[in-house]
């Protein structure tokens, strides 16, 4: 399993557009083979840092999603100015996990 963490550094005044794009990509990811989970985070000390965390069965599953995503980045969520100053993408191999017991 891998986890992908993507930090989107959003341009001032464009957070709504950035969230639309991240959410559109997340909806596409949710239907992709090998997708496990997705979280969207806003940094407490930087409200213009939007982070997405996704889990995938394998790097191949994530790579297939990236290819499909590039073909689908059209429509209202992707129109207009690119809302990011920069985007930093990191892929991590999962070595272990602790999960809360069901209550």
Q: pLDDT digit string (tens) for 58-97?
A: 999 999 999 887 766 665 555 667 899 999 999 999 999 8
- Find the CATH number of the domain harbouring 15: 3.30.70.100
Residue spans of beta strands (DSSP E) within 1-103: 2-10, 35-43, 46-56, 84-93
* 100 occurs within a structural domain: no
Domain count, the chain: 1
CB 54 within 8 A of CB 35: yes
CB 74 within 8 A of CB 25: no
* 99 occurs within a structural domain: no
| DSSP single-letter state for residue 81 | S
* 42 occurs within a structural domain: yes
* pLDDT score, position 75: 55
To the nearest whole percent, how much of the chain has pLDDT over 70? 90
Question: Which residue segment(s) compose the domain that 18 sits in?
Answer: 2-93
């Amino acid at each position: 399993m891998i986890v992908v963490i993507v930090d989107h550094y959003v341009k001032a005044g464009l957070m709504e557009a950035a969230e639309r794009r991240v959410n559109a990509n997340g909806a596409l990811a949710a239907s992709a083979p090998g997708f496990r989970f997705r979280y969207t985070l806003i940094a407490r000390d930087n409200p213009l840092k939007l982070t997405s965390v996704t889990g995938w069965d394998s790097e191949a599953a994530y790579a297939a999603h990236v290819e499909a995503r590039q073909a689908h980045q059209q429509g209202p969520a992707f129109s207009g100015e690119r809302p990011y100053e920069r985007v930093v993408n990191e892929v991590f191999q999962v070595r272990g996990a602790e999960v809360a017991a069901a209550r």
